């Protein structure tokens, strides 16, 4: 490819690039570029929202550039304030280490992970020390920080902003200095952080990185961005049947959005599919099944995609139970008169990532035991070997007493 063709292949579908002209000049250099991508281990799983920028990273790899995958074990302790209306709770070192364990394996489903340079930002941020941190903080003003939408809105609403939240964009920017980043890739919510990175690199006498961002993937609820904490996510490492089922649950309105960001169809192909659905030439259910096969094939295999579709049709079209269900192990010694707390069952089977999410699902009537709906979050339900637990339309598990 010519540099101009590379530019279109790499960032042609990006929301913003600061700037395309600078990136074109970098692509003309006779060396591989260093492409930075960072992920804070605030949760143990990567989801399809992460996959949007990461599939673009893969394109950089295809053209011979070096991806620097930064696991934010230091920045994760602070918590990214992007898109937040309040201060994030700080994570412990144990939580961060646990969450980071699965990152490289899951990222390897998209990237050539062996070709990546995997770094932990505690490597350079911990040695920075007080003097280094003060020097870093002196490179930016409070006025510039308050230009950030999240911060300015919280100021107007008189919602507290901690000083440590001001530090987050600065230490993330210092990551770019430490790894000598040429390009940083991420979602649109990261644009402010990336632009701070450009300024800080200049302050340290380095050429500024290119900031490239892509549209945030809407979650399965159809409104909020995909997020583990909101429970509207599709995990990269989820079982094929669960992944397929979640894709089938999305609304018709966001179907083109998923095609555009998660497949090779691009925005043009997504518009064509949307037009076929609107005209009645393509049924939305068929369009979703096609999308489900594409996604499951990408993260598992073609055989897994076919099996997941067959399982979906068996369960939802014919109202049957899945052929295979994972076990939810229930220690017999934890039972009280043969009963178990319904919230614990829901979280243990993977139907919810927290007790609060499990309670919400129970109150909404999304939980059944042996086809009997449970709506009392305090309920202790009688369980026996082989009982079937259902959470929502997609999660099934079989009780196994241990």
Higher-pLDDT residue of 353, 12: 12
Give pTM, 2 decimals: 0.76
Q: Are both 3-214 and 327-401 of the same fold?
A: no
pLDDT for residue 178: 97
Alpha-carbon dihedral sign for residues 20, 26, 28, 33: negative
pLDDT at 84 over 60: no
pLDDT for residue 85: 45
Assigned fold of 3-214: Rossmann fold (3.40.50)
Could you give the angle at which helices 255-262 and 48-62 cross, rounded to 10 degrees? 30
DSSP letters of 272-329? HHHHHHHHTSS-HHHHHHHHHHHHHHHHT-HHHHHHHHHHHIIIIIS-PPPS---EEE
* Cα angle 74-77-78, degrees, rounded to a multiple of 5: 100
pLDDT at 70 over 90: yes
Which residue's entry shows tokens 């644009």? 191
Assigned fold of 240-317: Tyrosyl-Transfer RNA Synthetase (1.10.240)
What is the rounded distance in angstroms from the CA atom of residue 120 to the CA atom of residue 132? Answer: 18
pLDDT at 87 over 50: no
Contact 126/190 with Cβ under 8 angstroms?
no
pLDDT at 82 over 70: no
Confidence of residue 63 (pLDDT cuts 50, 70, 90): very high
Superfamily grouping for domain 327-401: RNA-binding S4 domain (3.10.290.10)
pLDDT at 174 over 90: yes
Contact 63/6 with Cβ under 8 angstroms?
yes
pLDDT for residue 80: 59
pLDDT for residue 89: 61
Ranked by mean pLDDT, the top range of 123-127, 235-239, 364-368, 396-400 is 123-127
Confidence of residue 94 (pLDDT cuts 50, 70, 90): confident
Task: Convert the pLDDT of each residue in 241-291 to its tens digit.
Answer: 889 989 998 999 999 999 999 999 989 999 999 999 999 999 999 999 999
Q: Is beta strand 367-369 parallel, antiparallel or unpaired with respect to 339-341?
A: unpaired
What percent of the chain clears pLDDT 70, i.e. is strictly above it? Answer: 94
pLDDT at 31 over 80: yes
Task: Convert the pLDDT of each residue in 181-234 to its tens digit.
Answer: 999 999 999 999 999 999 999 999 999 999 999 999 999 989 999 987 777 899
Domain ranges of the chain: 3-214, 240-317, 327-401
Q: Mean of the pLDDT values across residues 150-171?
A: 86
């Amino acid at each position: 490819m010519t540099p101009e063709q590379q530019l279109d292949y790499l960032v042609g579908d990006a929301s913003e690039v600061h700037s395309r002209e600078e990136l074109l000049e970098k692509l003309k250099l006779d060396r591989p570029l260093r492409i930075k991508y960072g992920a804070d281990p605030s949760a143990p799983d990567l989801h399809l929202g992460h996959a949007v920028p990461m599939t673009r990273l893969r394109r950089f790899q295809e053209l011979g550039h070096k991806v620097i995958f930064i696991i934010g074990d230091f920045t994760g302790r602070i918590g990214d304030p992007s898109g937040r209306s309040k201060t994030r709770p700080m994570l412990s070192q144990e939580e961060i280490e646990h969450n980071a364990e699965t990152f490289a394996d899951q990222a390897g489903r998209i990237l050539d992970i062996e070709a990546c340079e995997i770094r932990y930002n505690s490597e350079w941020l911990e040695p920075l020390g007080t003097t280094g941190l003060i020097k870093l903080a002196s490179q930016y003003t409070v006025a510039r920080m308050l230009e950030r939408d999240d911060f300015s809105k919280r100021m107007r609403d008189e919602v507290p902003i901690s000083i440590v939240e001001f530090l987050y964009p600065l230490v993330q920017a210092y990551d770019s200095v430490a790894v000598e980043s040429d390009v940083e890739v991420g979602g649109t919510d990261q644009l402010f952080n990336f632009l701070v990175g450009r300024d800080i690199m200049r302050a340290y006498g380095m050429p500024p990185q290119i900031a490239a961002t892509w549209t945030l993937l809407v979650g399965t609820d159809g409104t909020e961005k995909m997020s583990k904490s909101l429970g509207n996510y599709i995990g990269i490492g989820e079982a094929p049947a669960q992944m397929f089922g979640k894709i089938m649950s999305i609304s018709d309105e966001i179907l083109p959005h998923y095609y555009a960001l998660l497949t090779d169809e691009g925005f043009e192909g997504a518009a064509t599919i949307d037009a076929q659905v609107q005209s009645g030439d393509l049924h939305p259910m068929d369009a979703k099944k096609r999308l489900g096969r594409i996604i499951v094939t990408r993260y598992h295999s073609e055989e897994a995609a076919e099996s997941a579709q067959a399982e979906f049709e068996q369960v939802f079209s014919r109202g049957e139970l899945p052929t295979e269900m994972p076990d939810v192990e229930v220690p017999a010694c934890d039972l009280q008169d043969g009963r178990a707390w319904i919230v614990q069952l829901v979280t243990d089977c993977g139907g919810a990532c927290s007790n609060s999410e499990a309670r919400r699902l129970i109150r909404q009537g999304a939980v059944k035991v042996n086809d009997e709906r449970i709506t009392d979050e305090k309920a202790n339900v009688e369980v026996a070997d082989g009982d079937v637990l259902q959470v929502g339309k997609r999660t099934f598990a079989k009780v196994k007493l241990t």
